[in-house]
């Protein structure tokens, strides 16, 4: 078993029996469920909207080689610059080249899973460049030295008391400060960062092919400040975020907001089509879009599983997943946690290291049910399991175990050869540490069903 898989099992067990973690997550996801149910009820024929989104994303992934150059050409017409990055190392180096050219010392960032994916903050820190997260949730986990817990709500695992304690220790706020007071303190601290930042870095929710634009959705206004005050704006966006037209935002914006937070629309929706133009009073002098591959073409090559690239990062499948709600986001050890992370990470970061995530599921199908673009997530989990077996990545003990189990289950003689007493001994001996660690082991009946049937229906009786 790989080290990553062993860590997953250890961390999952610890979190599953952490009562305080369970309390916080159940409370926060409970509020989410209520908001989303109310928000989605306002969308007429939501199933039709999901089908439309699925078809649009299917069209984009099947024509990625055409629509990405279309985006690039239209973005460049307005003075923007596009950089293609094959992997995290290339993306980080290209960003560093820009920063060094302008002698940048301080960076402000808005929330971006793509920059989490390439570990940009750590990379910049290793090159003596300060990078400040400006999304409140991201800022909180950055202060704690943690990774985001959730795709949409990075600090979901923390209670307001946890955050008040953090701000009290770091900034001297009252230990019983209210959420409003904590928000005002964060605003005070971050406003100065915007004013003196050399470069602003964001992600992008959508790349718009026909206008050469990026669309950013947020609730705090920090992305607008990040893209307005600094003289240079860099957007790091996965190549799968492309949509055909600006008119398609009338579908994707409400679906993203509705499934992500239960809102009709997020508070701030911004479309950026390049650097500041001659007739504009604000905005950056230079704007770059880094189109990030980083394993996405590996997933694109999998015809059965490429629909994993349709994801619009709403986080709905995480909130619906009974496994995620018990073991938490950090346990997955990947930027994209929960069901969507389990199906795409083995292709982005390696099947050998992350195949175990596809087994961390009850296959209840709730993730597929809630997906706003109808990704068949639980089927993708099964396909990943199939691929792990096909590629010979299962462990020797596992292969032997299933071989013996199959042989036994296909033979009534072998089934009846071992008594219930023997089977119970085997269960206690070989499965106590796995199946029976936190619960009582099942007890096999002394006599097999076949033996009981034979005795019950014996002619002599």
Which whole-number Å values give the CA distances from 289 to 202, 311, 331, in the listed order?
A: 9, 20, 31
pTM of the model: 0.91
Judged against a pLDDT cut of 90, whether residue 453 lies above it is answered with: no
Phi and psi at residue 325, to the nearest 5°: -65, -20
Q: Which residues contact 337 (CB under 8 A, 6 or more apart)?
A: 149, 150, 151, 318, 324, 329, 330, 331
Q: How much of the chain, in percent, has pLDDT values that exceed 90?
A: 82
Q: Which residues contact 446 (CB under 8 A, 6 or more apart)?
A: 419, 420, 421
CA 90/CA 391 separation, integer angstroms: 29
Sole residue written with tokens 């997943």 = 321
Judged against a pLDDT cut of 70, whether residue 459 lies above it is answered with: yes
Q: Which residues contact 275 (CB under 8 A, 6 or more apart)?
A: 78, 79, 80, 233, 283, 284, 285, 286, 287
Q: How much of the chain, in percent, has pLDDT values that exceed 70?
A: 99
Mean pLDDT of the chain: 93
DSSP codes, 253-322: HHHHHHHHTS-SS-SEEEEE-SS--TT-SSS-SEEEEEEE-TTHHHHHT-TTTGGGGG-----HHHHH-H
Q: Which residues contact 430 (CB under 8 A, 6 or more apart)?
A: none
Judged against a pLDDT cut of 80, whether residue 435 lies above it is answered with: no
The beta-strand segments (E) located in 5-100 are: 81-85
For residue 157, what pLDDT is reported?
96
Render pLDDT for 76-115 as a digit per residue (tens, 0 to 9): 999 999 999 999 999 999 999 999 999 999 999 999 999 9
Residue 421: pLDDT band with limits 50, 70, 90: confident
Residue with more model confidence, 206 or 410: 206
CA 39/CA 255 separation, integer angstroms: 10
Which whole-number Å values give the CA distances from 398 to 265, 389, 401, 431, in the listed order?
A: 48, 11, 5, 13
- Contact, 257 vs 51, CB < 8 A? no
Angular region, 93: left φ>0, alpha ψ -120 to 50, beta rest: alpha
For residue 461, what pLDDT is reported?
55
Judged against a pLDDT cut of 80, whether residue 23 lies above it is answered with: yes
CA 221/CA 268 separation, integer angstroms: 6
Going by their DSSP bridges, the two strands 206-208 and 213-218 should be labelled as antiparallel
For residue 450, what pLDDT is reported?
80
Superfamily holding 43-294? NagB/RpiA/CoA transferase-like (3.40.50.10420)
List every span in the chain annotated with CATH 3.40.50.10420: 43-294
Tokens encoding 260: 């992500």
Angular region, 212: left φ>0, alpha ψ -120 to 50, beta rest: left
For residue 460, what pLDDT is reported?
66
- Contact, 157 vs 25, CB < 8 A? yes
- Contact, 83 vs 289, CB < 8 A? yes
**Residue 214 host element (H or E):** strand 213-218
Q: Which residues contact 240 (CB under 8 A, 6 or more apart)?
A: 60, 61, 64, 296, 309, 310, 311
Report residue 255 CA to chain centroid gap: 17
For residue 117, what pLDDT is reported?
97
Tokens encoding 445: 């009946």
Judged against a pLDDT cut of 90, whether residue 318 lies above it is answered with: yes
Judged against a pLDDT cut of 80, whether residue 334 lies above it is answered with: yes
pLDDT (average), residues 166-190: 95
For residue 1, what pLDDT is reported?
66
pLDDT (average), residues 122-142: 96
For residue 422, what pLDDT is reported?
84
DSSP codes, 304-351: TTGGGGG-----HHHHH-HHHHHH-SGGG-SSS-HHHHHHHHHHHH-H
Residue 436: pLDDT band with limits 50, 70, 90: low
pLDDT (average), residues 268-284: 94
**Residue 235 host element (H or E):** strand 232-238
Residue 398: pLDDT band with limits 50, 70, 90: confident
For residue 405, what pLDDT is reported?
82
Q: Give the closest residue to 200 by CA, choosing from 268, 106, 273.
A: 106
Q: Give the closest residue to 287 by CA, choosing from 197, 216, 201.
A: 201
Render pLDDT for 156-169 as a digit per residue (tens, 0 to 9): 999 999 999 999 99
- Contact, 370 vs 32, CB < 8 A? no
Per-residue burial over 32-69, b = 16 or more CB atoms within 10 Å of its CB, e = otherwise: beeebeebbeebeebeebbebbbebbbebbeebeebbe
- Contact, 147 vs 330, CB < 8 A? yes
Judged against a pLDDT cut of 90, whether residue 458 lies above it is answered with: no
Judged against a pLDDT cut of 80, whether residue 173 lies above it is answered with: yes
pLDDT (average), residues 24-29: 94
Tokens encoding 31: 């509020």
């Amino acid at each position: 078993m790989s080290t990553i898989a062993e860590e997953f099992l250890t961390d999952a067990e610890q979190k599953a029996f952490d009562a305080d973690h369970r309390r916080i997550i159940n409370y926060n996801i409970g509020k989410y469920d209520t908001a989303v149910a109310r928000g989605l009820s306002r969308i007429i024929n939501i199933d039709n909207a999901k089908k439309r989104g699925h078809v649009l994303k299917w069209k984009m992934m099947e024509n990625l080689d055409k629509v990405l150059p279309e985006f690039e050409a239209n973005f460049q017409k307005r003075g923007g610059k596009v950089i293609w990055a094959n992997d995290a190392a290339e993306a980080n180096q290209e960003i560093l080249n820009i920063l060094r050219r302008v002698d940048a010392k301080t960076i402000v960032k808005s929330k971006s899973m793509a920059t989490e994916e390439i570990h940009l903050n750590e990379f910049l820190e290793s090159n003596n460049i300060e990078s400040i997260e400006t999304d409140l949730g991201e800022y909180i986990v950055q202060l704690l030295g943690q990774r985001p817990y959730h795709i949409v709500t990075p600090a979901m695992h923390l209670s307001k008391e946890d955050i008040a304690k953090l701000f009290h220790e770091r900034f001297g706020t009252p230990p019983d400060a209210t959420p409003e007071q904590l928000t005002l303190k964060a605003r005070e601290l971050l406003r100065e960062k915007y004013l003196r930042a050399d470069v602003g870095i964001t992600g992008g929710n959508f790349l718009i092919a026909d206008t050469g634009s990026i669309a950013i959705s947020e609730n705090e206004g920090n992305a607008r400040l990040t893209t307005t005050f600094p003289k240079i704006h860099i957007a790091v966006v996965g190549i799968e975020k492309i949509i055909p037209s600006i008119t398609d935002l009338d579908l994707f914006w409400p679906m993203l907001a509705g499934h992500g937070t239960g809102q009709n629309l997020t508070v701030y929706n911004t479309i950026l089509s390049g650097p500041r133009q001659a007739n504009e009073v604000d905005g950056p002098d230079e704007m770059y879009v880094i189109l990030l591959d980083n394993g996405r073409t590996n997933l694109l090559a999998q015809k059965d599983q490429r629909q994993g690239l349709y994801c619009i990062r709403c986080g709905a499948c995480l909130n619906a997943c009974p496994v995620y709600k018990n073991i938490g986001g950090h346990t997955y050890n990947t930027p994209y946690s929960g069901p969507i992370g389990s199906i795409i990470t083995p292709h982005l970061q390696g099947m050998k290291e992350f195949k175990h995530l596809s087994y961390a599921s009850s296959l209840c199908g709730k993730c597929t049910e809630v997906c706003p673009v109808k990704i068949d997530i639980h089927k993708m989990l099964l396909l990943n399991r199939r691929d792990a077996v096909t590629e010979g990545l299962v462990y020797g003990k596992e292969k032997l175990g299933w071989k013996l189990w199959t042989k036994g289950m296909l033979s009534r003689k072998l089934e009846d050869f071992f008594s219930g007493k023997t089977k119970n001994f085997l269960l206690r001996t070989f499965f106590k540490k796995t199946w029976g660690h936190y619960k009582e082991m099942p007890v096999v009946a002394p006599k097999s069903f076949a033996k009981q049937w034979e005795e019950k229906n014996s002619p002599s009786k």
